[in-house]
Structure 1
Amino acid sequence: MLKGIRVVEIEGLGPGPFAAMQLADLGADVITIHRKSGAVTPGMPERSLLDRGKRSIALDLKDPDDLETALCLIGTADALIEGFRPGVMEKLGLGPKPCLARNPKLVYGRMTGWGQDSPLADTAGHDLNYIALSGALWYASHPNQPPQTPATLVGDIGGGAMYLVAGLLAGLINAQRTGEGTVVDAAIYDGSAHMMNLLMTMRQTGNLSDTRGESLLDGPHWSRTYTCADGGFISVQCLEPKFYAQFLQILGLAKDAEFQIQYERTLWPDLTQRLAEIFASQPRDHWDAVFRGTDACVAPVLNPQEAQEHPMNTHRNTWQDIDGTLQAAAAPRFSNHQWNPRPSPTRGEHTKDILAQINDPR
């Protein structure tokens, strides 16, 4: 879908590389400027799956000749992605001013936690810190327990990478229409707060409480996970009455007077305990078999390897083993394009070819 779009990515961590991978998955020619030093961040592989579909050039951005090479490459690009603290790219000589001077149509994407201009812009932070301060972490727990959220997903990926991608795509459309580039300031703090707007609609009707466990989606017995007899988990979220009725019918609770009163908050704790006892009586796969194919809105909680082996994945082929690495396929899908990624490159693998193309970018 993005064939003919070139994106230059400055090597970084987390949401920036993920956003660049998403654009590569969509067909863009993503060129990552890797450090010549070859230093790998602790815990990260030499060939990261986040680099799939990309090309790699190795440069030392503190070397004047390599810096000029980077500027020439940026001059051939439609978009740029960087994820440093504010001011770092300016010190390197690769801030928006020189890059847009070289390439007026460039969409310059900046990925940070706190934004380019804020009281915390120059301070360090991570996924959990950003969503804690934005309000996005508040409902991520049961009552009287510390908030806990899946690592990196809500902040780095949801509030960060995907908002950067949206901003870049909007900027590219605008550049094609007007001939003018732009700077995209994508802050995880902003994006994670923006994702809360769906929940904030419930506040308008009194269904979102400031107290955890008392809102429409984080307190009911029909909106949580339960532990099964084998230590596995089952998820339940039958919000609408017709789905809740089917849930009760399958469990043999359709005539239970208390369960019939779905939205009575005072009953939720006791009904939660009763369901916990029911689900604890059988293993997870039993409940999966009981509810599979129904509209009761119940599903087993799987790890990625189990998800790959589940019948759902047999059809969708979402989880794949590529070059010995378990990973999820590109999303979304398109009716007239087939995803067929190139493998992740080694550091600097395409340097020679990219240098040859700089004077003939298309």
Structure 2
Amino acid sequence: MSRTRIAWIVLLVLAILLPFFFSSYRVTQFTLVLAYAVAALGLNLLLGYSGQISLGHGAFFALGAYVTAILVAKSGWPHLATIPVAAAICAAAGFAVGIPALRLHGLYLALVTLGLAVATPQLIKRFDGLTGGTQGLAAPSPSVPGFLDFLADDQWLYLLNLAILVPMFVLAAGLVRGRVGRALVTVRDNPIAAKTFGVDLAAYKTRAFAVSAAYAGVAGSMFTITVGFVAPESFGFALSFSFLAAVVVGGLATVAGAIFGALFIEFVPVYAADVNEALAAVIYGGVLILFMYVLPTGVVGLARRVRLRPKQEGERDAVVVDRGVAGGGAGERVRAQ
């Protein structure tokens, strides 16, 4: 068994045990981290692997959250049954956004998607008959099943969200390591070469948008399941920037990085407010800038460098020795030193 697989198993075991060692408030925070991690992973599939910038993923997150809230509150659907519906609707919305995005690149695409994020709260307020408008919409969280009555409500919601997150991460890991992932990276790095090798640029870009939006929709459903209430104020355009920050902090084009990025955007603002509530945003921005200066490749990028450094040093030593041998025994002198 590979070290990576062992590390993932250990991490999963720790994640399962986590809610039994923290207070209810802290467990709720970790539950929100799970939802944000799925959203950040979806954005990373788009930004890190296909190279398309989106500042509107908060809109897809909101759409998924409201789909679950509406189906639960107005139609009496089970919470879990709403997740595939939210994913499908958000995927369709993402595909629709991805079509005009084919003609846009860089900052132009970012501005278009930013407009989507800014408009979403206003659209929610406008359709108040369906969404509850400014008053919001209550969708009570699922209660603990009878056979798990030893769990507290917060522990149950955490484990439920963890059970949703795991297959989403497994699916993403399989996607990026296969033919689709290689095609997306080629599209990102060299579109001309990708087209030469027969990669359909339009198909891959629009599908990347659709999959990314579907992930954001699932994350929105997880948010509704956790909080039990949705309102327009929860989905301002700052949410999209938070997801972007999570991607960069965790590491571009990584799967595990979404977890570290979600921890950052959930806990750093809280600790910043504890230091000085009036300057919380300033402290948060300063920490983010410092983080990017110290770890430009994100947390996972640092872990990769640390893991590969002994191997690289060993390769350099081997090269020095080989050159020394070729030079008539100098390698022995280098080794002795």
Give the number of the structure with larger relative contact order, counting CA–CA contacts within 8 Å between residues 6 or more apart: 2
Do both proteins adopt the same fold according to a TM-score greater than 0.5, normalized to the shorter chain? no
Structure with more strand by fraction: 1
| TM-score, L = length of structure 1 | 0.23
| TM-score, L = length of structure 2 | 0.24
Structure of larger gyration radius: 1
